[in-house]
A and B are shown apart, each in its own frame.
Chain A
């Protein structure tokens, strides 16, 4: 397959984390920037604690909706072990932004499986460009754990061929539609995530 001018963003996490909403916001930003966009996820049983991925592809003309393994430019992981699970989808030049939050499923808590000790090290050892984001910590500091989503969107903003402002606008629009003050709060979380990613990139 030829390399194309298509940008492949893979978002991953757990059902209920807001992965799909985040993907929707990035899609809106890509549309606003004039791209053709395809976004796909397999929801189905995801509501019940399963793995959720959303494939977002944008560029001049997008055909196939799903990102083949090894073809993602950006991996945005909302959960630590999920970051490790989907790392095979990244291309060599790709970048992973990984929330350091751990969500322990019943199969681990009941002792059937082990949660990897240090997924970040595993990802790093593979030579991938990776920025860990303590999105939960940042959101908590801002007084609302639900802001994790916007923190992660801020974190990814400077790794995409889109203006950060375009993403921020799409985000603010969505949350302001619910409540005006929510828009401002999420915009703040977005900037906090951006700053965290920039700091993380420098540290790396």
Chain B
């Protein structure tokens, strides 16, 4: 367990928003944090494992994370759950209901919205949850604010006995800026769990009793918001446009319109309508700058406060200065500033994310690509979603965590005559399987589906940078933890023992044969691949391979593995049996090659040979 050296109170240092939230939680006397990794929220919990006197845990999914935090808060401790925006969909069940019962110890739900879609399947706006679940929402603009609001969120949570949603965005989570840190307040120690079935047992009669309490709470929060120091008016000399804004939108407004009056929201739901109404009276026009959806604008209009927003600004992506400036100029009837770029945009090839050199998924997708015409492949969320891309193109669907297994059942049972001969294959990773896949597999077996399930167990949450989960045998601190046995788990869910196969994904002939066998059998099969992610400690590198130039025939088969270490040395156009054919002669980047040997299995002329460790070393030294 690695404890960090903690900067003393009063220290000013550069922190990301995620780091600042972790520090603030510790200072606020946090007892327990639970989270599931997801960009851009992952680092919050990772950071927390470096702080003393609190418990930081990876949960199997976001619903579990929030419920664990709820339990701690009901017991009287301060707790938090952290997740990315789509995680709240999973956690919506406890969120919507616990909002009625509320909390005792402060509970902050930290949600990181992926505004700009750097690594997500959608761009949903988590501020809606504040309205839907009747809980307050805070929106920091940068790391210092994330730090301050996180601390205030715990106080607000305890004062109003409600979950508080701290809404971060990618530009808050990952931007580093200066933060002044403070003292730690001791964790809660008075009180404890109070027996109160009329509050904690949410049967209809309880819920009915709690509904007016929730409504009163929201009214009280509105009054609190009107006087909250987290929102402020920043006067400006150019009163043609006044801006109401929150989150990083505030920074973009200040950058683009340094002289404009700005009403900046911190506690943004419930919004301080009277304060905004008064502000609106001091400016010619009011423009709402909110990322991403039209939420506050609609509410202001309902309050009779005239404003403009999404009719001139986009409802997706960041509202960067270069988007704001022309939109406002156009609204004012001014000439729209055209930024003359010195350079024309150059069309440079794209660099789509790829699987790593020697990745254990490469063999899986090479094999699936060979079976392409016989199978429909439902995918899931993780690195292996990249299997949809060139050169494999061996993934047909991806929707959300766990949907590979459930959609496989639907693809099987809902098939039309055209697909009668096809088999259904579901591909899911280890962590995603534990997150939301177990139920899907159970459902698939129970409903007598016909699908072959590939569980790609690489021993980590790869996509988010290598976190642990119940299948790795380690906890969030890297300490030993009980390890789930996938074979036994799958068998317990009802998959026949003879239909459960474990395969080394680097042995492609074996994988190919196993897949062929299992897709031919009209019931649920599970194939578990068992080789570790190349980015984690368990991965072992071997001496690299090289291409013997004289032996390479240019067939290009090895390129179909998609291994980024295989490079084309030269291309040649030839005519073979009257057909024009392009040959690609290859080389291997020996500094990247992990020595997995996958490519050798694709090489007909046997032109790929392992180097001796000595010659590899020499070759690398001369680069």
Interface residues of A (CB under 8 A from B): 1-2, 14, 24, 27-28, 31, 36-51, 62-66, 68-70, 81-82, 84-85, 87-88, 90-92, 94, 104-116, 119, 122, 126-128, 136, 140, 145
Residue interface bits B162-188, CB-to-A below 8 A is 1, else 0: 000000001100111110000000000
A150 to B255: give the CA distance in the assembly, Å.
32
Q: Check A65 against B175 for contact (C-beta < 8 Å).
A: yes
Q: How far is the CA of A128 from the CA of B566 in the complex (A)?
A: 35
In whole angstroms, how far apart are the Cα atoms of A94 and B556 in the complex? Answer: 43
CB proximity of B289 to chain A, nearest CB, Å:
12
* Closest B residue by C-beta to A65: B175
- 4 tightest A-B CB contacts, nearest first: A44-B119, A113-B349, A64-B255, A48-B353
Contact B568 A113 (CB under 8 A): no
Which A residues touch B341, using CB under 8 A?
Answer: 69-70, 88
Contact A107:B349 (CB < 8 A) given known A39-B175, A65-B251: yes
**A42-B170, A64-B254 known, 12 other contacts, Cβ within 8 Å:** A27-B14, A31-B178, A42-B116, A45-B39, A49-B353, A50-B352, A64-B252, A69-B339, A82-B348, A90-B342, A111-B568, A115-B349
A39 near B176: Cβ-Cβ < 8 Å = yes
| Residues B623 and A37 in contact, CB atoms below 8 Å apart | no
A194 vs B355: C-alpha distance in the bound complex, in angstroms? 35
Of A46, A113, A127, which contacts B353 at CB under 8 A? Answer: A46
Please tell me if the beta carbons of A49 and B465 are within 8 angstroms of each other in the complex.
no
B570 CB to closest chain A CB (Å) equals 11
Q: Determine which residue in A24, A47, A64, A145 has the highest number of CB atoms from chain B within 10 A of its CB, and name it.
A: A64
Nearest residue, chain B, Cβ from A79: B351
Stretch of B62-70, B317-325, B393-401, B402-410 at the chain-chain interface? B317-325
Asked if A65 and B171 sit within 8 Å, CB to CB, the answer is yes
A1 to chain B, nearest CB (A): 6
A65-B248 contact, Cβ under 8 Å, with A38-B177, A105-B349, A107-B350: yes
Q: Are A39 and B343 in contact, with the CB atoms below 8 A?
A: no
Chain A neighbourhood of B40, CB < 8 A: 43-44
- Could you say which residues of chain B place their CB within 8 Å of the CB of A44? 39-40, 118-119
Residue of A nearest to B587 (CB): A109
- Considering the complex, which residues of chain B in the window 535-583 have a beta carbon less than 8 Å from any beta carbon of chain A? 535, 556, 559, 562, 564, 566-568, 571, 582
Residues of B near A107 (CB, < 8 A) are 349-352, 390
- Cα(A39)–Cα(B143), bound, Å: 11
Contacting A at CB under 8 A, from B299-342, are 318, 320-322, 325, 337, 339-342
Assuming A27-B14, A48-B354, A110-B390, is B342 touching A84 (CB within 8 A)?
no
CB-CB under 8 A from A43, the residues of chain B are: 39-40, 118, 174
Known contacts A64-B251, A84-B348, A128-B342; A106/B535 CB under 8 A: no
Jot down 5 A-B pairs with beta carbons below 8 A, ordered by A.
Answer: A40-B176, A45-B118, A50-B351, A63-B252, A111-B571
* Contact A106:B562 (CB < 8 A) given known A88-B343, A90-B343, A111-B568: yes
B391 touches A110 (CB 8 A): yes
CA distance A204 to B535 in the complex (A): 42
CA distance A37 to B142 in the complex (A): 12
Tell me if B108 is interfacial: C-beta within 8 Å of chain A: no
Q: Which residues of B contact A108 (CB under 8 A)?
A: 349
Complex Cα–Cα for A11 and B541 (A): 31
Interface flag for B612 (CB, 8 Å): no
Distance between B324 CB and nearest chain A CB, rounded to angstroms: 9
| A204 nearest CB across to chain B (Å) | 17
Q: C-beta contact mask, B577-607 vs A, less than 8 Å → 1, else 0?
A: 0000010100000010000000000000000
Pairwise interchain contact A104-B567, C-beta atoms closer than 8 A:
yes
B346 CB within 8 Å of chain A:
yes
Chain B residue with minimal CB distance to A2? B258
Could you tell me the distance between the alpha carbons of A84 and B446 in the complex, rounded to whole angstroms? 56
Report how far A43 CA is from B577 CA in the complex, Å.
Answer: 49
**Closest-CB distance, A143 to chain B (whole angstroms):** 8
Q: Nearest Cβ distance between residue B236 and chain A, in whole angstroms?
A: 13
Question: Does A38 lie within 8 Å of B465, measured CB to CB?
Answer: no
Q: Which of B14, B255, B344, B348 is A28 in contact with, Cβ under 8 Å?
A: B14
